[in-house]
Structure 1
Amino acid sequence: MTGFTLRYTVLFFVVFCSHFVCGQISYSIPEEMAKGSIIGNIAQDLGLDLKRLKLGKARAFSGDVKEYIELNRENGLLLIKENIDRESLCGKITPCVILENPMELYRITVEITDINDNAPHFQRNEIIFEISELSVVGAKFMLENAVDLDVGVNGLLSYSLKPTDNFDLQFQSQTDGEKNMEIVLQKPLDRELQKQLSLTLTATDGGEPSLSGAVNICVSVLDVNDNAPVFEQKIYKTTITENAAKGSHVITVRASDKDEGSNGLISYYISKAIDLNNVFIVDPQSGKITLNGQIDYEKANYYQLNVHARDQGGLSDTCKVIIDITDVNDNQPVISILSRSNTISEDSKPGTIISMFNVNDPDSGTNGQVYCNINGNIPFAIISTSNDFFSVRTEQELDREREAEYNITVTCSDEGVPSLSSSASLRLQISDVNDNAPVFERNNYEAYVVENNTPGLSIFTVKASDVDSNQNARVSYILEDSTVNGVPVSSYVTVSADSGVINAVRSFDYEQLKDFHFRVKAQDGGSPPLSTNVTVKITIQDQNDNAPQVLYPVQTDGSLVAEIVPRSADVGYLVTKVVAVDVDSGQNAWLSYKLQKATDRALFEVGPQNGEIRTVRQVTDKDAVKQKLTVVVEDNGQPSRSAVVNINVAVADSFPEMLSEFTNFTHGKTYNDDLTFYLILALAAVSFLFITSVVVIISVKIYRWRQSRIFHHSNLPVIPYYPPGYTDTGVTGTLPHMYNYDMCMTTDSRKSDCKYSTLGGQKILIMDRSFTETIQHAKTENNFLEDPDSPELVRGSLLYNRNGYIFLNVGIGHLLQIYLQFCLSYSEGRCSTSLP
């Protein structure tokens, strides 16, 4: 095979989306340059910045397994990496300079020039000819050409033959342009004079300095063989597939010789060449050429053989056999990844290039035509930037939350039959962008907490999730500012920023706060952060933490309530009604009444639902005047709470009788000494008489004084006024309205009798230390009506307190208030009365 100039080609591509700009630069260097030798300055010749080479990770790439050229990123120089021998390579190699981020591809051609480092040489050390002495002048004898691996001027050969007494050197042009070298007989041979001749054939190349090689030609003079073999064809052509088995028949050449006998016997042989390596052999007798080794179309697509036919007399002829190799699809495409991105942001725009690769298929024709595709339904596509270069780019928008990683399998197949293919895998991570806000598990939350909770109690947990990753998915919980009943919500609850646990700041009271709302914000850690709000409702559940409260009868420290039941009362007579409330709710506020203790259980009963105390039977004279009842008011909570009210009932037909017995309720057992009792009784009587006298005198004087002034200022006659008498039409009262009450008051065991009687009207007898305090107390605590025409509230209520004062509210329509203040003290002995 003929030699030729070796060229490296470096592609120049600048990638902008799907558009490419191409350019080319060439260098020429001699072969056998030392390692590290400079080929050229890429940065200067292409106008590239050295920083661009560093940041773009520039490198040289070629299709060969062995890299002969490398790129220095620091200074932009293209250097010799491995020793280049043009004769061993003898082919085209395409290195590339690749830049990443963004990706660029440059094509550069490096021409390897030949140096005269190979001398011409012949395949055999000696050439032997047997020439008949009858050979005529002008007989030609074929010689083998010398081989020089150099090319160009270094490979141009000139031949010289010494001596030239009998033979001359000539060249014969062939139809394919090559020349055959022959020695031509110049004068007849005489075997008797010279049996053998020795010639020296020298081949010299055209290099500087020139190199030469020589071979010895030995000529044996034979006797009488004047016809040389002649081939039937000067050129034979045939075809064989590259995967043909060893021993396959290639072609048969034939030559004929007109001589007879041993001079007509022909033997065949192939002229040896360095690149054949005994791939083909010929049968010396038949001329059948067979395959003796493996042939590869990718290494050589044809072979040319020089076959010689020689007779026994040494005469020979030569023919050329051209063997064309038919390509077979026996090579898979080879994928070389030039550049790749391992990570890409999910907000990358469609068309972003993630990888560039080169595909090489050494087969020819359709067997070497390659197409590539991506396996699976993924948002990536392959585009071809040139014949052998491809890039993978995004085809759609990416979403890390839908797919966080892609295993991209690129399959490249040729168009041979059968088709061969190869694959390469790219693993691409999708980096997260904060494009998703946190999402709560519910649209709203409702939690329940029992009142009287411990501050710091964990009430509830809100939970939000973020489908982003890492910091973008880190959720923090924030309590939004708001107020509950004018108070910041932060004084009621707190929210843990990390866990979303809602804790109570204070102890809740159902009676003050039933429920409240607030909002919690879930915010991720992205930049900028995204957030979502949710409403949380906290409902306070009631707890039975309040005992029933008795509103009536009023219970004060040291005070007793006395109800009067006439002996003539019928069955079912309403003695009084216990009124109680419970500030709890639900079943915790359901009240029931029960008579716990009674002086005579057979006389009274309590309504379990309404608290009314009624007589069970007819009151008789045998019944005790003093009746003490204990009523328990109980709620329905778990556990239940209760309140106890003590009610004193006097069974009497007259007020003095009742009063006498009433006094004994509290002091009946205080003093048992008769002497002391009578002393106190005498003192009380004297004091009462004195006070009564003073009050009567003062009242008469005041009355006369007021009458005189009215008469003096008015011309109308004086018409006396008499209070009307009201009739009790109800059945729930304790005392009839038309009763005349006799009331006696005592302090301790010291008795002082006083009788105050009016006809035809209702009375309220009030005894206290201060007129103003007593009236106010009567209005607020006992609900007196200021309107004279309003109906009574409660009748027959008698209150005896520890200070020795009696407050009697008899509930009348026309309100008459009488204030009487006693000072029953041993030391002071004062008594004052006033009548408003």
Structure 2
Amino acid sequence: MVTKVCGWCVCNSFFWSLGDALIEVRYSVPEEMQRGSAIGNVARDLGIDVTELVRRNARVVAEGSRQFCELSTETGSLLVSERMDREELCVQSAPCVLQFQLLLENPLKVYSLLLDIQDINDNSPTFENGQIELELLESTDLGRRFPLESAHDPDIGANSVQHYQLSENEYFALEMYTQVDRNAYPELVLKKPLDRENQADHFLTLSGVDGGRPFRSGAASIHIHVLDANDNVPVFGQSVYKVSVQENSPRGTVLVKLNATDLDSGIYGEISYSFNHMPDKMRGVVEVDHVTGEVKVMVALDYEQASSHELDLQAKDGGGQSSHCKLIIDVIDVNDNSPVIVVKSTTSTVPEDASPGTMVALLHVYDLDTGTSGWVTCKISDDVPFKLVSEVKNYFMLVIDGVLDREKCPHYNITMTAVDAGTPPLFSSKTVAITITDVNDNPPIFRHSDYSIKFVENQPQGTLVIKVRAEDADEGQNARILYSLPEDAASHLSINAETGEIFTLRPFDYESSTHFHVQVMARDEGRPSFTSTCTVQIFIADQNDNAPVVLYPVQLDGYLAHDIVPRAAPADYLVTKVVVIDADAGYNAWLSYRIVKATQPNLFSIGLHCGEIRTLRPFAEGEEIKQTLIISVSDNGLESLSATATVNIIIEDGLPIIDELVAHDTDKLHGNSDLTLYLIMALAAMSSLFLVLIIGVVYMRLCRYRYMYRSTTNLPVFPPTYGPPGYSDVSCFNTLQKDDQYNSFLTTGSWKRDFRFGSDFVDLDMLNKRGTSLHVGGHSATRAKLLVPHKL
């Protein structure tokens, strides 16, 4: 039989209003079914596909501690898993109903299953005392009734005791007496006068027969002693005593005091109280004082085991006469049971990206008490991203109620507390451990967004440049980081993908490149993966790995240019200038000049840093016309590198002397005096600043038109191989031996050691790209600008 109930559901005094209809399936089954017997096909009755049972982890859960039945996920049938004895489960109560829940997960669905346990005739009637002793006076009146012990049958309904039978005899008959509780008791009725002298003892058999098919019966022997003169029986003040007592009442609590009277005197008036029938579960729980008739509690009563008890008592006088009464004990429930929390299903690990509302645990919460003592509330702490949701009676779902972040809290111990509404309230708690698993939701983060390092050139291949480090807040594979470089850096650098160490693939050359800008990417191995980048600035430091190179005079095998000087040249006359370059930079390109060998000593000098060769004294008659100087040029590196240049000087008569090639002390003094004057004027008054500026502008304009004239034999000659195409001599004396005409850009006074350049110029590609330093006019300059031709 399948029954569906919708609306309000009542269980253990809990009222649950369900948004959806609660389907309740009821089956009627006989007790004592064999284990494995089929009760019914739940899947078919509920319209559930059998294949869904395994996928959704379907199972049957009992309300109590014993299961009794189980679900076959293969057929969908509900099977008996444990012996069901109605008399053990429900005693005399009718009906006897067991409640179960059918649970399906993903999504959660609960169905209510009710098993109505039907009684079968599996117990025979029994008498408490198999031997009934009666003592009757021979003067007993005809029709006198003597109550007898009734038979007890644990079965109910038609399977319980239906009638009694008495063995055939001529003195006694059997009749039934119905009390106010509608229980029938057998009574022995005297139908023929007794004669002790004729027959002092009578032996009868009383049989109790139930209504089962087939019927069962039980018998008791009746031994009647015929006595003289006990013609009154004890009489109870009430045929039914009804008392109420709280469960867990202490030992010795008096439930009721029985009161029976007997009009006889002496031994025939002495009354003794006793139980006529005591159920097995009540043996030792209550006792009656044989003399006083007080019924006391000896073992605490438990409302949850039975809410009421019915006991039969008798009062018997000294002559064997007895009467009977019934004692009904109603047990009052008290709040003596704490709520029970049963975890039916739980997920120990939850991904941190799980969406709110995802169920992580299913709880069954109930209280065995009734009334307000059985009302239970369940809660968890407020500081966790979870909450309890109840959609089915007695069941709570623990669901996600916020955003999970493993990096902030990787583990939760959620304590659920259930409190009843009794006085005082009782509570219980259960802790569910949930571990948050990682998902790849954090990118790698470099410790620094920019790295700068100074790295010396010429380091061997495989030299460690720098180690970058990124960190990922995730764990496991999601936190495993691989490093990589862009393709444009792959020709110079390599990186250890796991450690972030950057190595050189070949030596760096400062003269080729002074700076590298590299983007390093860190990528985790999550799905999907995240990346981040950092910038590595590598500044190449120069080493003194380039020797000076002589540009002028040109040092070619079989050819050496000659510089001509007038024989009338005074002391400190500028003869020529040695032009040298060094591809290094800074101090490594700072050049020093000295004469290591000369045809005639003490005739010429060379500027230490400018390379200008001047006369030390006027030429004397008879001195050799051709003078050869060997010049050593050294750089300023830690391990100095050097080069040598050979200068040939021809002394020629008749050449004019150019005044501007002569250094005058008066000019120096004049310059110093002008500088002193400017300093005095600046310190004297700020108001003269404008005047100083005007004087400076005028002075610069005047210097603009000062040119130096030299003969073609006195100026340096640069071979075509030392200049770019179209590069030409600007001295107007054709020292570069080119036929094309160019605008001239001439130097100012050579003693001032600078050059005057025109507005049209371009970088010398070789020097600009290599970052070399050209030592010209006594100054070291990086990426020196050379003269650029301007064709007419």
User: What TM-score comes out, normalization by structure 1 length?
Assistant: 0.72
- Aligned position for 2:697: none
Greater CA drift, 111-120 or 311-320: 311-320
Which residue, out of 107, 120, 126, partners 2:125? 120
In structure 1, what is the Cα distance between the partners aligned to 2:264 and 2:745? 172
Sort the Cα spacing of 1:139 and 1:619 in 2 relative to 1 into closer, same or farther, 3 A: farther
Tell me how far 1:146 sits from its aligned partner.
0.7
Tell me how far 1:56 sits from its aligned partner.
1.5
Which residue, out of 227, 248, 251, partners 1:246? 251
1:145-294 aligned at under 5 Å gives the runs: 145-163=150-168, 165-275=170-280, 276-294=282-300
1:406-555 aligned at under 5 Å gives the runs: 406-480=412-486, 488-555=488-555
* Residue identity in the other structure for 1:292: M
* Structure 2 residue 314 is matched with structure 1 residue 308: yes
Contact 1:552/1:578 (8 A) holds in 2: yes
* Residue identity in the other structure for 1:412: A
Which residue, out of 659, 662, 679, partners 1:729? 659
Greater CA drift, 588-597 or 295-304: 588-597
Contact 2:575/2:613 (8 A) holds in 1: yes
Contact 2:569/2:657 (8 A) holds in 1: no
Sort the Cα spacing of 1:732 and 1:146 in 2 relative to 1 into closer, same or farther, 3 A: farther
Question: Residue 94 of structure 1 aligns to a residue in which SS?
Answer: strand
In structure 2, what is the Cα distance between the partners aligned to 1:733 and 1:563? 19
Contact 2:564/2:713 (8 A) holds in 1: no
* Residue identity in the other structure for 1:53: L
Tell me how far 1:20 sits from its aligned partner.
4.2
Tell me how far 1:779 sits from its aligned partner.
5.9
Question: Residue 661 of structure 2 aligns to a residue in which SS?
Answer: coil
In structure 2, what is the Cα distance between the partners aligned to 1:324 and 1:364? 14
Question: Residue 587 of structure 1 aligns to a residue in which SS?
Answer: helix
Contact 1:36/1:81 (8 A) holds in 2: yes
- Aligned position for 1:632: 632
- Aligned position for 2:355: 349
Greater CA drift, 382-391 or 180-189: 180-189
Tell me how far 1:208 sits from its aligned partner.
0.9
Which residue, out of 325, 332, 345, partners 1:326? 332
In structure 2, what is the Cα distance between the partners aligned to 1:126 and 1:765? 162
Contact 2:485/2:495 (8 A) holds in 1: yes
* Structure 2 residue 28 is matched with structure 1 residue 22: no
Tell me how far 1:374 sits from its aligned partner.
2.4
Contact 1:61/1:94 (8 A) holds in 2: no
Q: Deviations over 1:729-783 (max 9, x none)?
A: 313499xxxxxxxxxxxxxxxxxxxxxxxxxx967599x9xxxxxxx99969954
In structure 2, what is the Cα distance between the partners aligned to 1:787 and 1:335? 105
Contact 2:390/2:396 (8 A) holds in 1: yes
In structure 1, what is the Cα distance between the partners aligned to 2:271 and 2:662? 161
Greater CA drift, 619-628 or 429-438: 619-628
* Residue identity in the other structure for 2:283: N
Sort the Cα spacing of 1:764 and 1:614 in 2 relative to 1 into closer, same or farther, 3 A: closer
The gaps in structure 1 that reach 5 residues or longer are 482-487, 657-724, 735-760, 769-775, 796-836
Tell me how far 1:127 sits from its aligned partner.
0.9
Tell me how far 1:287 sits from its aligned partner.
1.6
Tell me how far 1:237 sits from its aligned partner.
3.6
- Aligned position for 2:59: 59
1:686-725 aligned at under 5 Å gives the runs: none
1:360-371 aligned at under 5 Å gives the runs: 360-371=366-377
Tell me how far 1:302 sits from its aligned partner.
2.7
* Structure 2 residue 401 is matched with structure 1 residue 395: yes
* Residue identity in the other structure for 1:130: E
Tell me how far 1:242 sits from its aligned partner.
2.8
Tell me how far 1:124 sits from its aligned partner.
0.8
In structure 1, what is the Cα distance between the partners aligned to 2:525 and 2:711? 82
1:599-748 aligned at under 5 Å gives the runs: 605-615=605-615, 629-647=629-647, 728-732=658-662
- Aligned position for 2:580: 580
* Residue identity in the other structure for 1:422: S
Tell me how far 1:112 sits from its aligned partner.
2.5
Question: Residue 45 of structure 2 aligns to a residue in which SS?
Answer: helix
In structure 2, what is the Cα distance between the partners aligned to 1:460 and 1:60? 65
Aligned residues: 678
Question: Residue 730 of structure 1 aligns to a residue in which SS?
Answer: helix
In structure 2, what is the Cα distance between the partners aligned to 1:423 and 1:609? 93
Contact 2:351/2:439 (8 A) holds in 1: yes
Sort the Cα spacing of 1:550 and 1:343 in 2 relative to 1 into closer, same or farther, 3 A: same
Greater CA drift, 82-91 or 65-74: 82-91
Question: Residue 98 of structure 2 aligns to a residue in which SS?
Answer: coil
Tell me how far 1:625 sits from its aligned partner.
7.6
Tell me how far 1:464 sits from its aligned partner.
3.2
* Residue identity in the other structure for 2:144: A
In structure 2, what is the Cα distance between the partners aligned to 1:529 and 1:12? 52
- Aligned position for 2:303: 297
Tell me how far 1:391 sits from its aligned partner.
1.4
Tell me how far 1:788 sits from its aligned partner.
11
In structure 2, what is the Cα distance between the partners aligned to 1:790 and 1:521? 52
Identical positions, percent: 40
- Aligned position for 1:691: none
Question: Residue 396 of structure 1 aligns to a residue in which SS?
Answer: coil
Tell me how far 1:122 sits from its aligned partner.
0.7
Contact 1:171/1:182 (8 A) holds in 2: yes
RMSD: 4.0
Greater CA drift, 335-344 or 206-215: 335-344
In structure 2, what is the Cα distance between the partners aligned to 1:596 and 1:330? 118
Q: Deviations over 1:314-363 (max 9, x none)?
A: 23333333333333433333332222223333333211112212123222
In structure 2, what is the Cα distance between the partners aligned to 1:611 and 1:762? 20
In structure 2, what is the Cα distance between the partners aligned to 1:586 and 1:789? 31
Sort the Cα spacing of 1:727 and 1:787 in 2 relative to 1 into closer, same or farther, 3 A: farther
Which residue, out of 333, 340, 344, partners 1:338? 344
Contact 2:592/2:635 (8 A) holds in 1: yes
Tell me how far 1:376 sits from its aligned partner.
6.2
In structure 1, what is the Cα distance between the partners aligned to 2:617 and 2:711? 29
Q: Deviations over 1:216-241 (max 9, x none)?
A: 12222232223332333443343433
Q: Deviations over 1:362-406 (max 9, x none)?
A: 223333322222246211111223332221111113233333333
Q: Which has the higher contact order (CA 8 A, sep 6+)?
A: 2
Tell me how far 1:158 sits from its aligned partner.
0.7
In structure 2, what is the Cα distance between the partners aligned to 1:212 and 1:778? 144
In structure 1, what is the Cα distance between the partners aligned to 2:55 and 2:132? 64
In structure 2, what is the Cα distance between the partners aligned to 1:762 and 1:458? 58
Contact 1:784/1:793 (8 A) holds in 2: no
The gaps in structure 2 that reach 5 residues or longer are 10-17, 91-95, 665-709, 718-725, 751-792
* Residue identity in the other structure for 1:231: F
- Aligned position for 1:134: 139
In our comparison, the structure showing a higher alpha carbon Rg is 1
